[in-house]
Chains A and B, each alone.
Chain A
Amino acid sequence: MSNAYLNPGLPQPVPSPDGLDKPFWEGLRNEQIFLQRCSSCHGWQWGPEFVCHHCLSMKLTFEQVAGEGIIYSYERVWHPVHPALKEQGPYIVVLVSLPQAGDVRLVGNLLGDPEQKVPIGAGVRAVFEHHPDAKPAAFTLLQWQLT
């Protein structure tokens, strides 16, 4: 995939066998972000779990969230720990909190210059990185860009 942020060859995400995060991965394929929300107390939680940690209800659903977040933390990686990244050079991983979903956090890459200064607290918007030809199954990654 030529427009992917990282070089090809890393493990590809697939929904977990217990189904917990399946709506999330399916949503990304349609450029939608679905995160877990409690049907009883309406609290958000991420990563997904079988029970709501706020009210202990097991009636959990997935609800769409706008692709707008805030950089909570970040890191610039230099040393490749996977053969696919040997020629990658530095890259930036961001931890993004979503104010519209109870400040739950997601991990992604910050698009743009890998040596850019990363401002904690800055706003970012979602960018959907599609891998339609991936085998065994197409998938989409959720990346972020400064607003």
Chain B
Amino acid sequence: MNRTLRGKVAVVGVGETDYYKRGESEDPEFKLALKAIMRACASAGISPKEVDGFASYSNDRSDPSRLAAALGCKELRFSNMQWGGGGGGGSGAIANAAAAVATGLADCVVVFRALAQGQFGRFGQGPQRNTIAGDMAHTVPYGLMSPAQMFAMKVVRFMSDHKVDQSALRAISLASYHHAQNNPRAVMHGRPLDEAKYDASRWIVEPFHLFDCCLENDGAAAMVLVSAERAKDFANPPAYVLGATIGSHFRAGASVHNAPDYATSAFKTLAPRLYEMAGVKPADVDVLQSYENFTGGVLMSIVEHGFCAPDECNEFFTPERLMAPGGGLPTNTSGGNLAECYMHGLGLNIEAVRQIWGQSTNQVDGADVAMVISGPMVTPVSNSIFGSEATL
């Protein structure tokens, strides 16, 4: 039995709402989800009534049964939530959806993520209550409580071990902001960043300046997946799922910062499996979307996916290398979570598909292989590779 997702499922539609600064969406979260799903279906040229499955992640609140009822879906055959917080499930939800389609559980699955932080509260705030118990009791009273604070501890250790300079993190931020200037959807469109502005920006938690941190946004994003057999019947060229993996390394979830391999993006075990399933090597990757909760996570992700040796980060991470169209590894070509929109990273998967379609606002010429790395430093994490018809 050939146990692989390679080439069996394709993305045929993508859609997103307008992207808003956190709290500024006039629409409630569920309405945002509906809008994104309907736009993704319109992009594919199908009626939402034909959708028979939904997959999401990070405890998305838009329930698939309500979605199916609201959209008049003829039948619901797959409803799936990838466990884990943050953006670690972005590619995982695609893996789950693709697995459902490949195995015949469903025929047309929508992967989506909707966020209205104005309606439901912010990510970047600490808990405000009198007492705290469990794992967080061992960190919050010491002032370690936000995502930036949870992950800086890993990045400090990695940068210390491998003598990585701040300029490597800055390069990642500059590339994202550069790409956002060409992307009218981007929240930071029209707000360019340069070295001086980055260097002068305030520390959030060392080694993260303000511009090393993702945005917090309202909006929704969605993708439509069908089997490879059907994929050629749609308006868009198929963006085939060449591979996708989910997971983390030994005891990555050990609490109170006790993962034995600590200073990692958590992709060391996933990356080889992804390359094997997709049948590609790092050198084959034409364009990369690498989840920026914080730039340090991108740094470790790129190292752990074999693009750069850990001790060579200072030479490797230059803005020019990361910028489309001419850089050696064009990365986060929509502006990503730093400068397009923080839709828990599903926007990165959409951008990978647009690159395969030749429709990016920062198009890489002839992009046939597009990789997505979702949610570094959490557990589980996930990743995916999309390919054009030429890659099959």
Residues in A lying within 8 Å of B, measured CB to CB: 6, 10-17, 21, 25, 45-47, 53, 72-79, 81-83, 85, 88, 90-91, 93, 95, 104-109, 120, 136, 139, 141
Chain A residues, CB < 8 A from B162: none
Once the chains bind, are B153 and A73 in contact (CB under 8 Å)? yes
- The smallest beta-carbon distance between A32 and chain B, in angstroms, is 16
What is B's interface to A at a CB cutoff of 8 Å? Answer: 124-146, 148-149, 152-154, 156-157, 160, 202-206, 251, 254-258, 262-263
* Measured CA separation A57–B187 after assembly (Å): 52
* A44→B277 CA distance, assembly (Å): 37
**A93 proximity list for chain B (CB < 8 A):** 142-144, 149, 153
In angstroms, how far is the closest chain A Cβ from the Cβ of B310? 16
Q: Which one of B148, B157, B255, B258 lies within 8 Å of A120 (CB-CB)?
A: B157
Return chain B residues, CB-CB under 8 Å to A105: 256-258, 262
* Residues of the A chain whose Cβ atoms lie less than 8 Å from the Cβ of B138: 13, 21, 47, 106-107
Contacts of A16 in B (CB 8 A): 133-134, 137
A81-B125, A104-B258 as given contacts; A6 in contact with B131, CB under 8 Å: no
Q: A14-B133, A78-B203 are in contact. List 9 more A-B contacts (CB 8 A).
A: A11-B128, A12-B141, A73-B156, A75-B156, A77-B205, A82-B125, A82-B127, A83-B128, A120-B157
Chain B residues near A72 (CB, 8 Å)? 157, 262
Query: CB distance B153 to A82 under 8 Å?
Result: no
Is the pair B143, A85 in contact by a Cβ cutoff of 8 Å?
Answer: yes
C-alpha gap A12/B140 in the complex (Å): 8
Are B262 and A73 touching (Cβ within 8 A)?
yes
User: Across the interface, do A79 and B203 meet the contact criterion of CB distance under 8 Å?
Assistant: yes
For the complex, give the distance between the alpha carbons of A69 and B246 in Å.
35
Whether the pair A17, B135 counts as a contact (CB closer than 8 A) is no
Q: Roughly how many angstroms separate A17 CA and B133 CA in the complex, as a whole number?
A: 8
Contact status A15-B126, CB under 8 Å: no
